[in-house]
Amino acid sequence: MDNVLVRKLEGYAHLGEEEKRLLNDVVRDVRTVPPHTDLATEGEKSTHVHLVMEGFACRYKFTAEGNRQIMAYLLPGDFCDLHVFVLKQMDHSIATISPCHIVDIPRERILALLERPKLSLALVCAALVDAAVLREWLVNVGQRPAKKRLAHVLCELLLRLRVVGLADKSYELPLSQKDLADTIGTSSVHLNRVLQDLRHHNIISWKREKLVINDIDGLMTLSGFNPNYLHIGRQGADESNL
């Protein structure tokens, strides 16, 4: 079976055997990182691109008052900022949430991948989808009430994990209630009330880090979820000239 990176990128471009071989070579050197460990810290210069092969990581920032805002979840197959090495310094931090398998890819290896037209297309599409996700999260936090915000995040995680073969109607969710509260911009107390309401109406169940969505259509309707921003299963551009 192809690794999670290949499965994700094939959603954006048709990859041949040579492209798959190159991607398999990239992910050979995997390290295990404990939970709650920074992979990159705001203000530092990053020389490597981090790739998540297993586990959950996140992008986050702290306010001057010490409040954390999680701005994105990084799932298996996700790069932690593909072009981060062009920045003078990090403008946010990246940390593991659960134990993770991480690949550190040097700048030269990324540039070599970008020289391959099909891989370049797939990698650029992946970066564009990351930006689309951030825009959707801005709308989510700014315009939806807490219950809809949470439902939207849970729908997004379901679809993103399905792409890499890690979900059906359920998936591993190694997050704390504090993590989810910091994601949707609410207090842990209010987050708990929202979870209880979703459980009470039998829309979800969440036990021992496993989330089961009992009513997928109901959860999507509740949140007003439209998956178009994820561009799942769509080739990103005309490949006839590649």
CATH code: domain of residue 204: 2.60.120.10
Residue 86 lies in a domain: yes
Tell me how far apart the alpha carbons of residues 197 and 202 are, in angstroms, rounded to a whole number.
9
Q: What is the pTM of this model?
A: 0.93
Residue 238 lies in a domain: no
Q: Please give the mean pLDDT across all residues of the chain.
A: 93
Structurally, how many domains does the chain consist of? 1
Residue 24 lies in a domain: yes
Segments forming the whole domain that contains residue 192: 4-230
Average pLDDT over residues 163-188: 96
Q: Which of 60-64, 81-85, 101-105, 222-226 has the lowest mean pLDDT?
A: 81-85
Region of 66 please: left (phi>0), alpha (psi -120 to 50) or beta.
left
Which residues, 6 or more positions from 1, have their beta carbon under 8 angstroms from its beta carbon? 165
Model confidence over 107-125: pLDDT tens digits? 889 989 999 999 999 999 9
Tell me how far apart the alpha carbons of residues 228 and 132 are, in angstroms, rounded to a whole number.
10
- Whether 237 and 121 have beta carbons less than 8 Å apart is answered as yes
- Residue 241 confidence (pLDDT): 44
Residue 236 lies in a domain: no
